[in-house]
Amino acid sequence: MVRSSNIGIFWFFFIKVFLMYYIFTLEPTRVAKGKTKTAGTAPNRTEAAANRLKAARTAQNLDEMNNEDERINDEINDDEISFLGDLSKVREIEGEQERAIEEREIERERIKRRRNNEREKEQEYREKEQDDNYSDPPVPPQFELMTNKLQICNWLVNNPDILQLANQMLNMKDGTSQSAPAPVPPVHASLTPTNNDKYRLIDEEIKCLFLKSRFPPGHAFEKFVRKIFPELETYSSTAKSIIDRCRKSFSDYRYQLRITIEELIQEFQKEIQSTVLLPTEVNEFISPDIVIKRIFNRYFLAVDISELPEISMSKLTLFSRECFQIAWEIRNESDTKIFYYRIKSLDMDTERLEIPSRSGKNFASLLKF
């Protein structure tokens, strides 16, 4: 019994010592080893994770770099395409500019030739249509169809004024005007101006009319013919010939007006050396004296200036300045018709002016449109 209890106590102490050894010696060692193992594995896992993250970032960076390269290449390609397109447009524009310059040169040469032709034609016309031409009556077209002297005599019988003038010229040519008595004119001839005076009168009146209107209605010339040549039928060949001469004279007057204004513009440019037109400079340059002596000099020869109202002179000066401004604005235009088209509207300011003629007849001044 005692031996059994001793054995039991022995095993009890043995187990207790073993447990204490295990608890204080083996278990801490195992735990420490586990911690050491765990501690050794963690850095490896962290390093692997870091490597994987680095690889991922590297791959991402490569993808981003590839994408950036592709974007840059696309931009370069777009820039090249845009540059080529712009270069093509530039070359196209340069080509158009060169063609435009060539066309302008061709047009300039064409205008120059046309103006030269116009000047030559106008010069020929002015040589043929001098003011003195109105001193002789127009030759009736019937003379072209006459084949014998009897027909000519019949025509002279119907035009006694011309027959009388021919006799006087014949006497003067033969030197018999002093030795032989001059034929006694009929009573109506002494009271009526000769055709020579009538043609001078109509020349005077159409010049006064031009100061009132550069584009008068067609019936204005017919009224002149009826007043100055009452013996002529309005639709007779002689009356039509006179009316045609009046129209041609007005065409020449308008042409001379444009040429005179253009010459004044050239003088004005040389004087001021500027491309800017100031109203004060125009008013100073286009003075009433310039209007009388330069712009309308040939027409004021038919005007009784002593009887010319001041308002008429002021209106004509204002008209001249407006013509100057219009010609200045279109000085680089090739179409000369623009000038005539624009000054036509200015007739409204002058068509009611009083323009007394030297003869005192004042047909143009009294004419109402």
pLDDT tens string, the chain, 369 residues long: the values are 545 566 777 777 777 777 776 676 665 566 555 555 554 554 556 666 667 666 666 666 666 776 766 777 766 766 666 666 667 777 778 888 888 788 777 877 777 777 676 666 666 655 554 444 433 444 555 565 555 666 677 677 777 777 777 776 666 554 444 444 444 444 344 334 567 788 899 999 999 999 999 999 988 999 999 999 998 887 888 889 999 999 999 999 999 999 999 999 999 988 887 777 888 999 999 999 999 999 999 999 999 999 999 999 999 999 999 999 999 999 888 888 999 999 999 999 999 999 999 999 999 999 887
Residue with tokens 């109202």: 309
Q: Is the pTM of this model over 0.85?
A: no
Q: Which residue, 298, 124, 123, 292, is CA-closest to 203? A: 298
Residue 118, token pair as written in the block: 């116009």
C-alpha pair distances (Å), 105 with each of 8, 61, 298, 332: 139, 64, 37, 14
Q: Where are the alpha helices (DSSP H) in the chain?
A: 2-21, 27-128, 142-145, 149-157, 160-174, 187-191, 195-212, 219-228, 237-272, 279-285, 288-290, 297-300, 310-329, 337-344, 347-350, 363-366
